[in-house]
Structure 1
């Protein structure tokens, strides 16, 4: 049934509603902070927890480990979603944050590869899986818990405050990591200082637990419990009946997958690209991203508010369209403004690898000369073409007019430098306002789709199976399509030899999300969510 939105939109926020928003949002902030610390330290983790000898392989392994936490999120969604629909939103909501906090502290206490060998990456993966499992129940719980008591005409605005925590979590992680780096020399940070951001989360965990103890159970859940309308089998009911399953599939292949690739591109891969491909200093990248995040922050609330007035569907679909159309131009522009010397080098000194016996190996050191050459070029942020050897030829790399025989790194680097390549981006040539604007633009797309999305997900499913039904497709779509994005895009770039080739991954996913969304996503902003 349609709900009038005029009266609720005029009244002020009550004290109870403000407490609900702060408690839900602060807990979610901790969840995102814990996850983003790892993203901010992915380069450091590649040297601490994985075998040395191949920087590209170590980085990919570190990114894959980061993505592993998202792969198990659907399992957490099913487990905690069922609990949330059976025993209540509040207690399930509490369990997820405790589990997340314990896993994060565990990462901060983990011995490095140098001390315990392969057990180090194994334990790291296990803790990342535990984090992902907890987050699988957190997102759906937070959205459900906050949306159900919200006024109908302000549901988008209220829940968009929850969505801002992703930005605040990343911003907090950047601030803590940067402060830790600046407080000590690089050797000390590499040795033990990297642990501080993880251990600091203990204080945030205590505050989050305290705030959540002050919350009462969702009135919607209480009403269903008193009326005896709780679902006895929310998983079977949510995914075994077509009237519910069709919305699960629609959400999975539209808004959930769309928000995943928008999120992964704007929040994560832009950082990876600037640091590892364009060779901009990590602290500089963090500063640019922090500025962009601060400037984007109000847009989550703006798009949430706007979705209460004109609807949620077309705002979210517009974000997918813009990402599909502008991703390649934006990343080419990042090269132009962040490292113009690299752009000139790539145009004037094309690189060609003449070799056979090339392999793509994720967790092993390069075995052949071709593997070593490609690993070095990829780690240097250099695009290249690979052509097969002709009869009687030996392995060579052509850099502009210079030919380098064999795979010696010093010879390759000398030839690159002679052709105009630089080990690091020249700070004096970086157009900081342009870089910040481009990073801001990518995250504005996220605000467009993520701001209204919590309200949309809650409105899409009936209350008795809501926690379970919305959690699974969200984490399948955002986790499997989106959160593996930094690894998938980087791996595609390494395999193809083109630093921009992997960007077709988010473009294609965003395009599919747009088509499915336009055709099948219903408008939900006037739905009654009490039933």
Structure 2
């Protein structure tokens, strides 16, 4: 690897790490942000609106891919993803300065959502630019390895955001971090510090990227006068190109996205929301798995240069789909053994007229449930209590039983009533000593229980590295130089922004509607298997392709 090639990879990777750091800050702090900017609403609604604002960033990513992809194919790779880093960093910094709802009213949540959408737009243009830029600098036969450095950036960005947040929480205490810490201009809350600190990361990123040269493939195309005059219409308006976009989306990216979000985000959500592991412990365990598994991106990227992109990505999807149920079952058994025993020994039934029990599927969390049967089942799901729905004769009143004993139902107090009854029957209390718990970062390495969990999580991170490590090289090689930035960015961001980004909410909605804590896994398993089938039939191997080409793969 030459000095110039190392500089290209470093510049692209560092800037992208900072972008992902900015993007993940919001997701990690969504609960605190909900209380700050949606305080006019009840607590449950605050969290929902905060998550919807987070989702807005994912939903607009494909539009950012269109805007900046077109710009990158028209004016160049370098200046386009210099623009994206400025937009991303500035909008993140402004979130840290944004007054709360209590200070400026409805303007606060509107401004927050607008900034989230700017972040999503910028990220929609960032990844394609970085991947194309590195691939077009890489020597033939090494593109998988070179672009795999870009693939580490999402994980490293998440790891960096977790490290900053956990460190601040431990240093200043939970209350100061959430609300009490005093900042200039009348702002409060230590949670603002990671957002404000992003201005330093922005300055470093801009400086590094200003030192970079344009990619040789784009320079050659520009000199030859073969640039596309209308990248959008050429990439998506001509069937020969749009067909390849669809194959790339469903034959590679969708499966990669659901495996990636399951191994990093849904695993964290499962620990916190289903197994009721405390925030610090869950974040530390995930952080260790990321540290141990991140080298897999480089390994599988380099391996794809030897055996191909297709077998590694599809193989990763297949193995993940086959093993998710036993892996998450093992997580439950080790992280919260009393809870696992209760799932088998405590029998909770919701007995009701089926005409009064609706569908609980609610991936965006905005539905209102009024029927007692629906309220009871949703409460049980939110507390991760397994239940069975039993049909009663028409007109029968709804009742909930725990091991045969009826639990009084009052909508306002049912969460506490059923929680107490479940604990009395055998479910673990909040401070159950059998649950995994760590008090420091290195303390996670001090007992066998946490080490076993880290090992399971690391296996899932390795699945992520297998499907994600070669994906940039594969997508870059799919398309000709003249529309490469535009054409590869859209399927990537539809797959990761929509199919992947909505996975945690959708999977939990499946859990809530079925009463089965593992039912949400059918979402990633189904899409991973879909990608395996489509990929095997339609995806061609591209590892030996010349990037100075004017034809699709």
- Gap change, CA 1:379 and 1:174, over 3 Å in 2: same
Residue 378 in structure 1 maps to residue 381 in structure 2? yes
- Indicate which of 529, 537, 552 corresponds to 1:519: 537
Tell me which residue corresponds to 1:36: 24
- Indicate which of 236, 248, 267 corresponds to 1:239: 236
Residue 27 in structure 1 maps to residue 12 in structure 2? no
State how 1:152-301 maps to structure 2 within 5 Å: 152-191=140-179, 192-301=189-298
Residue 330 in structure 1 maps to residue 327 in structure 2? yes
Deviations, residues 222-281 of structure 1 (Å, cap 9, x unaligned) = 111111111001111112223222211110102111121011101111111101111101
The Cα of 1:199 is off from its aligned counterpart by 1.4
Contact 2:40 2:101 in 1 (8 A): no
The Cα of 1:365 is off from its aligned counterpart by 6.1
- Indicate which of 39, 61, 66 corresponds to 2:54: 66
2:137 partner SS: coil
Tell me which residue corresponds to 1:96: 84
2:191 partner SS: helix
- Indicate which of 438, 452, 461 corresponds to 2:470: 452
Contact 2:275 2:335 in 1 (8 A): yes
Contact 1:385 1:497 in 2 (8 A): yes
1:524 partner SS: coil
- Indicate which of 471, 490, 497 corresponds to 2:489: 471
Moved more, 495-504 or 110-119: 110-119
The Cα of 1:386 is off from its aligned counterpart by 3.0
Contact 1:275 1:281 in 2 (8 A): yes
TM-score (norm 2): 0.89
Moved more, 379-388 or 504-513: 379-388
Distance (whole Å) between structure 1 residues aligned to residue 348 and residue 296 of structure 2: 42
2:141 partner SS: helix
Moved more, 390-399 or 221-230: 390-399
- Gap change, CA 1:194 and 1:320, over 3 Å in 2: same
2:172 partner SS: coil
- Gap change, CA 1:236 and 1:271, over 3 Å in 2: same
Residue 437 in structure 1 maps to residue 464 in structure 2? no
The Cα of 1:132 is off from its aligned counterpart by 0.9
Distance (whole Å) between structure 1 residues aligned to residue 100 and residue 524 of structure 2: 33
Residue 410 in structure 1 maps to residue 416 in structure 2? yes
The Cα of 1:14 is off from its aligned counterpart by 1.3
- Gap change, CA 1:126 and 1:399, over 3 Å in 2: farther
Tell me which residue corresponds to 1:131: 119
The Cα of 1:364 is off from its aligned counterpart by 5.9
The Cα of 1:479 is off from its aligned counterpart by 1.4
The Cα of 1:182 is off from its aligned counterpart by 0.8
- Gap change, CA 1:116 and 1:384, over 3 Å in 2: farther
Contact 1:339 1:425 in 2 (8 A): no
Distance (whole Å) between structure 2 residues aligned to residue 421 and residue 278 of structure 1: 11
Tell me which residue corresponds to 1:107: 95
Contact 1:293 1:443 in 2 (8 A): yes
1:153 partner SS: coil
Distance (whole Å) between structure 2 residues aligned to residue 114 and residue 403 of structure 1: 43
- Gap change, CA 1:119 and 1:367, over 3 Å in 2: farther
Instruction: Please provide the CA RMSD for this pair.
Output: 2.1
Tell me which residue corresponds to 2:446: none
Moved more, 42-51 or 102-111: 42-51
Moved more, 83-92 or 370-379: 370-379
The Cα of 1:107 is off from its aligned counterpart by 2.3
The Cα of 1:465 is off from its aligned counterpart by 0.6
Contact 2:294 2:461 in 1 (8 A): no
Residue 400 in structure 1 maps to residue 403 in structure 2? yes
Tell me which residue corresponds to 1:10: none
Residue 350 in structure 1 maps to residue 368 in structure 2? no
Contact 1:280 1:425 in 2 (8 A): no
The Cα of 1:137 is off from its aligned counterpart by 0.5
Deviations, residues 357-403 of structure 1 (Å, cap 9, x unaligned) = 55746236654544443343223221223345535643321122321
Tell me which residue corresponds to 1:8: none
Tell me which residue corresponds to 1:75: 63
- Indicate which of 469, 478, 481 corresponds to 2:499: 481
Residue 87 in structure 1 maps to residue 75 in structure 2? yes
The Cα of 1:322 is off from its aligned counterpart by 1.2
- Gap change, CA 1:113 and 1:344, over 3 Å in 2: farther
Distance (whole Å) between structure 2 residues aligned to residue 158 and residue 330 of structure 1: 31
How many residues get paired?
A: 519
Contact 2:166 2:280 in 1 (8 A): yes
TM-score (norm 1): 0.93
Contact 1:53 1:365 in 2 (8 A): no
The Cα of 1:56 is off from its aligned counterpart by 5.7
1:279 partner SS: coil
Contact 2:277 2:435 in 1 (8 A): no
1:152 partner SS: coil
Distance (whole Å) between structure 2 residues aligned to residue 50 and residue 276 of structure 1: 21
Distance (whole Å) between structure 2 residues aligned to residue 224 and residue 455 of structure 1: 20
